Amino acid sequence: MTTSLTEMPTSGYGAALWRGLKSFALLRESWVGMVGAFLVIFWVLVALFAPLLAPFDPNSSIQPFAKPGAEAIKAGGTFWLGTDHIGRDILSRIIWGSRTVLIYAPLATLSAYTVGILMGLAAGYRGGWVDDVLSRVADIILSFPVLVLYIIIIATIGASGFNIIIAITFASSPGIMRIVRGLVLDLRNRDYVAAAQTRGESDWRVMLIEILPNARGPLIVDACLRLGYVIITIGVLGFLGLGLPPPDPDWGGMVNETRQMAMAFPHMTLFPCIAISSLILGFNLLADGLREISLRD
């Protein structure tokens, strides 16, 4: 070790990657986390290789004007999971639909976190009127029933992928702000924060470099859980017809479109539902696993 000390330390990215791999190796010790990670990775791979995996074009009616009761629309046979009410292959739509979920859910979560963290840092660290204003705004937003809030926002700005992100950010960042604020209230009294202040660091540097990294544990766990909620939300929005505009496949939309036939043809709604719940379950189990290993150390 002593000889290499004359050199500068290895690049930050390499070290960060190594640390990431090491914490993933820790996850192996929690089987709950492993199951969660498996489910999530499964869906990520499906989304990545959608063009290769999907047997049919998700948007074209392969079984035109399928009549109720016809052989082909049931599961099994040519169409593994059957077709929907207008004859589109459900398996292909689920495979392509995973892309929608796995693009918009993380983006929306990330965006909600960015806003929530900045608000929480400012409220917790600065305190005073900044805290008062931000906390009251958060209270107002949180006092709305979430669904009503989504309907109002989407109805106002229109249904599109980008607007879904905006709506989710608006509705969930106050909750994140609350968590961050609580963590910051505790962390800002630490001596290392005082040390940074006494050497005249700027507020943003103290907040982002000294405080935020130490709040990461609970935030990562919460982010995993929240990702699950966001997937539900996107599903619900799709179900309400406020999701992505048709015909692009969207799991929630698929349930909505076929729900009237659910009694006669349960497979049309069942399989998209299974897809949604398995991904959410994956994220929730992963969050549990992460919490378990973070408590252990």
Structure tokens at 18: 């190594």
* 288 near other proteins (CB under 8 A): no
Binder among 201, 248, 288, 292 for other proteins (CB under 8 A) = 201
Binder among 78, 197, 260, 278 for other proteins (CB under 8 A) = 197
Which of residues 48 and 209 has its CB atom nearest to other proteins in the complex? 209
How many chain residues interact with other proteins (CB under 8 A)?
22
- Which one of 50-58, 149-157, 195-203, 234-242 is the stretch in contact with other proteins (CB under 8 A)? 195-203
Which of residues 5 and 264 has its CB atom nearest to other proteins in the complex? 5
Binder among 128, 200, 264, 295 for other proteins (CB under 8 A) = 200
Cα–Cα distance measured from residue 267 to residue 55, given in angstroms and rounded to the nearest whole number: 18
Structure tokens at 253: 């939309």
- Which one of 40-48, 139-147, 148-156, 198-206 is the stretch in contact with other proteins (CB under 8 A)? 198-206
- Give, in degrees to the nearest 5, the angle at Cα 145 between 109 and 168: 20
* 1 near other proteins (CB under 8 A): yes
* 199 near other proteins (CB under 8 A): yes
Which of residues 212 and 230 has its CB atom nearest to other proteins in the complex? 212
What HEC string does the chain produce?
Answer: CCHHHHCCCCCHHHHHHHHHHHHHHHHCCCHHHHHHHHHHHHHHHHHHCHHHHCCCCCCCCCCCCCCCCCHHHCCECCECCCECCCCCEHHHHHHHHHHHHHHHHHHHHHHHHHHHHHHHHHHHHHCHHHHHHHHHHHHHHHHCCHHHHHHHHHHHHCCCHHHHHHHHHHHHHHHHHHHHHHHHHHHCCCHHHHHHHHCCCCHHHHHHHHHHHHHHHHHHHHHHHHHHHHHHHHHHHHHCCCCCCCCCCCHHHHHHHHHHHCCCCHHHHHHHHHHHHHHHHHHHHHHHHHHHHHHHC
Which of residues 1 and 263 has its CB atom nearest to other proteins in the complex? 1
* 21 near other proteins (CB under 8 A): no
Which residues in the 209-248 window bind other proteins by CB under 8 A? 209-210, 213-214, 216
Nearest distance, CB of residue 7 and other proteins, angstroms: 9
Which of residues 9 and 68 has its CB atom nearest to other proteins in the complex? 9
* 192 near other proteins (CB under 8 A): yes
Binder among 198, 263, 264, 295 for other proteins (CB under 8 A) = 198
* 89 near other proteins (CB under 8 A): no
* 202 near other proteins (CB under 8 A): yes
Task: Write out the residues near other proteins by the rule CB under 8 A.
Answer: 1-2, 5, 8-9, 190-192, 194-202, 209-210, 213-214, 216
